[in-house]
């Protein structure tokens, strides 16, 4: 038990202006701020839960949780989760991810829609790089750095 010396009538309560219903369909600049692996309710698999925050615009600070069922008896469920994770990785410019922390604190754009089965929930239909230019998956596979440019010759004999 915690001892409290609190009087509710002494606190001015501001009217809440923010709705916690689904966000309007559209594109939102976001970033992953937290990730956790959790067991599924049935106990026969696990999912990666990504907590994302909107980082600009009217809905700055709103959060969204995306669950990716990467370990599931349903191969179709796993395929969908892997495709969504791959889309996010491409938007972040990542090819190989060893730890979900590598997804954190990197901005991207998410395309939100309203869930067709539950109109009180959002779904993410896709991701893209924040620059607006889509990142080609082929560019992610390049592991050799470009050749270094030759040093510029100085016009000054001492430089």
Long-range residue pairs from 48-56, CB within 8 A, at least 24 positions apart, any chain: 48/81, 48/85, 48/100, 50/88, 50/100, 50/103, 52/110, 54/23, 54/28, 54/29, 54/30, 55/29, 55/30, 55/31, 55/107, 56/29
Is 48 within the bounds of a domain? yes
| Predicted local confidence at residue 14, as pLDDT | 76
| Predicted local confidence at residue 72, as pLDDT | 95
In this structure, are residues 56 and 66 in contact, taking their beta carbons and an 8 Å threshold? no
In this structure, are residues 68 and 145 in contact, taking their beta carbons and an 8 Å threshold? no
pLDDT of residue 144 exceeding 70, the answer is no
Angle, CA 132 vertex, CA 67 and CA 80 arms, to 5°: 25
Is 98 within the bounds of a domain? yes
What range does the domain containing 112 cover?
27-132
Helix, strand, coil distribution of the chain in percent, nearest 5: 20, 30, 50
Is 58 within the bounds of a domain? yes
For the chain, where are the alpha helices, taking DSSP H only?
Answer: 75-92, 137-140
| Predicted local confidence at residue 3, as pLDDT | 82
Q: Which residue has the higher pLDDT, 30 or 5?
A: 30
Is 159 within the bounds of a domain? no
Number of domains in the chain: 1
Going by pLDDT thresholds of 50, 70 and 90, the confidence category of residue 12 is confident
Strand ranges in the chain using DSSP code E only, listed in sequence order: 26-39, 46-54, 63-71, 108-114, 122-129
Distance CA 55, CA 76 (A): 32
Report the predicted TM-score, pTM, of the whole model to 2 decimal places.
0.72
pLDDT of residue 58 exceeding 70, the answer is yes
How far does the chain reach from its first CA to its final CA, in angstroms?
75
Is 6 within the bounds of a domain? no
């Amino acid at each position: 038990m915690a001892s409290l010396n609190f009087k509710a009538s002494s606190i001015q309560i501001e009217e809440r202006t923010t709705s916690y219903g689904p966000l309007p369909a559209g594109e939102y600049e976001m970033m992953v701020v937290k990730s956790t692996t959790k067991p599924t309710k049935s106990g026969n698999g696990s999912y990666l839960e990504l907590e994302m925050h909107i980082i600009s615009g009217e809905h700055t600070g709103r959060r969204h949780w995306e669950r990716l069922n990467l370990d599931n008896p349903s191969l179709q469920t796993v395929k969908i989760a892997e495709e969504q994770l791959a889309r996010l990785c491409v938007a972040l410019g990542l090819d190989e991810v060893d730890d979900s922390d590598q997804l954190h604190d990197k901005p991207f754009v998410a395309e939100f829609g309203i869930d067709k089965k539950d109109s009180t929930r959002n779904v993410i239909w896709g991701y893209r790089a924040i620059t607006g230019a889509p990142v080609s998956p082929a560019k992610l596979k390049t592991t050799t750095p470009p050749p270094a440019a030759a040093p510029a010759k100085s016009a000054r004999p001492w430089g």
